[in-house]
Chains A and B, each alone.
Chain A
Amino acid sequence: MRSFQQNISEFNARAIRVVAISVDPPDINRNHRQKLGLTYTLLSDPQAETIRSYDLLHKGAGPDGTDIARPAEFLVDSTGTVRWFNLTESIMVRARPGQVLKALDDLKLAAPAAR
């Protein structure tokens, strides 16, 4: 999540929104956004309904055996269609922003603004 923040200007330059979804409630998201200096949106899915609809529920992996999301990243185009995704096999390995930017540019979904 920090790595996406470090590269957020690349996404902003392409006018691409970045959102991150977890089971955390909004007030925790607000604190965490401040603490990590995140500028993108954190969305709260406390009942894991959206997480379930994406089949990303990791049963019992949270505190006290609660259900949380397994890490995943999706690139959704302007019509709402998935154009690239990443389902990690280890919770320590996440998509790097460069992979998403490369997918964006390869698919010509958004041209980077002139620098």
Chain B
Amino acid sequence: MDLEDGHGKIGMKRKWNWPIWVGFVLALSGLFSYGFFVRYPITRDFPWTNLLLFGAGIALLFLGLFRAFGRPQVYRGKIFGSIFTAIALFLISLFSYEIFYVLRQVPASSGAPRVGQLAPDFFLLDQSGKPVGLGDLLSGPSGAKPVVVIFYRGFW
């Protein structure tokens, strides 16, 4: 009878430490699901779904590590659990750096027209090569009307 644990001799197969695997998969899915969640403003403006997946993944990874280091006779995963956790933390840092720093590097545009100022006039070609001015847009077929002007980065 082994004194170390109730599961047999040392060296016998230890238990599968599932929180490490599930946690790692959750953390990865937090990263790779961004391509899906980015399509909807409610999950794009603030990426809470991705952060939620990261959070759940990290919680499970730490639970797995806690088991692996706390009861190494019973649970596997001291080494690969640490590696998986390090990879997950690295990916989360990369994601956060991109979302909360890189994508926020937009010019302040202090000279952009403010409320009450005249919008600078423009005269540009539309998608069929026809020149269109701001004045044309404001004077629609049914009298003068407001216009929504959107500036976007483009698709190149």
Residue numbers of A with Cβ under 8 A of B are 1, 3-4, 11, 14-24, 26, 28-30, 32-33, 41-45, 49-51, 53-59, 61-63, 68-85, 87-96, 100, 104, 109-110
Which residues on B sit within 8 Å (CB–CB) of A53?
A: 120, 122
A49 (CB) vs chain B CBs: closest residue: B122
Taking a contact as CB atoms under 8 Å apart, the answer to whether B151 and A17 are in contact is no
What A residues does B121 contact at CB under 8 A?
A: 80
Given contacts A44-B125, A71-B153, contact A17 B106 (CB under 8 A): no
- Once the chains bind, are B138 and A80 in contact (CB under 8 Å)? yes
Contact A74 B119 (CB under 8 A): yes
Interchain CB contact under 8 A, B146 and A109: yes
Contact in complex: A58, B153 (CB < 8 Å) = yes
B104 CB → nearest A CB, Å: 5
A1 contacts across to B, CB distance below 8 A:
150, 152
- Counting residue pairs across A and B whose Cβ atoms lie within 8 Å, the total is 211
B38 contacts across to A, CB distance below 8 A = 92
A15 contact set on B, CB distance < 8 A: 140, 142, 145
Q: List the B side residues contacting A83 at CB < 8 Å.
A: 115, 146
Interface centre among B106, B115, B144 (most CB of A within 10 A): B106
Interface SS of B by simple majority: loop
Assuming the A-B contacts A15-B142, A17-B137, A90-B104, are A72 and B109 also in contact, with contact meaning beta carbons closer than 8 angstroms in the complex?
A: yes
A50 touches B146 (CB 8 A): no
Chain A residue numbers with a CB within 8 Å of B150 are 1, 4, 18-21, 72-74, 95
What residues of B have a CB within 8 angstroms of the CB of A76 in the complex? Answer: 119, 134, 138, 146-149
Say yes or no for B132: interface residue by CB 8 A criterion: yes
Tell me the bound Cα distance from A1 to B23 in angstroms. Answer: 36
What is the total number of residues of chain B having a CB less than 8 Å from a CB of chain A? 51
- Give bound CA distance, A110 to B142, whole Å: 12
Tell me if B153 and A19 are in contact (CB < 8 A).
no
Q: Contact at B99–A54, with CB atoms within 8 Å?
A: no
Contact B147 A17 (CB under 8 A): yes
Q: Which chain B residues (70-128) contact chain A, with CB distance < 8 Å? A: 99, 103-104, 106-122, 124-128
- Per-residue CB contact flags for chain B residues 6-44 toward chain A (1 = under 8 Å, else 0) read 000000000000000000000000000000001001001
30 contacts between A and B (CB under 8 A): A1-B150, A4-B148, A14-B145, A16-B148, A21-B151, A23-B156, A24-B154, A29-B126, A29-B127, A43-B126, A45-B122, A54-B113, A55-B109, A55-B110, A58-B107, A59-B107, A68-B153, A70-B109, A73-B151, A78-B138, A78-B143, A82-B113, A85-B112, A85-B113, A88-B106, A89-B104, A90-B104, A91-B106, A92-B44, A110-B145
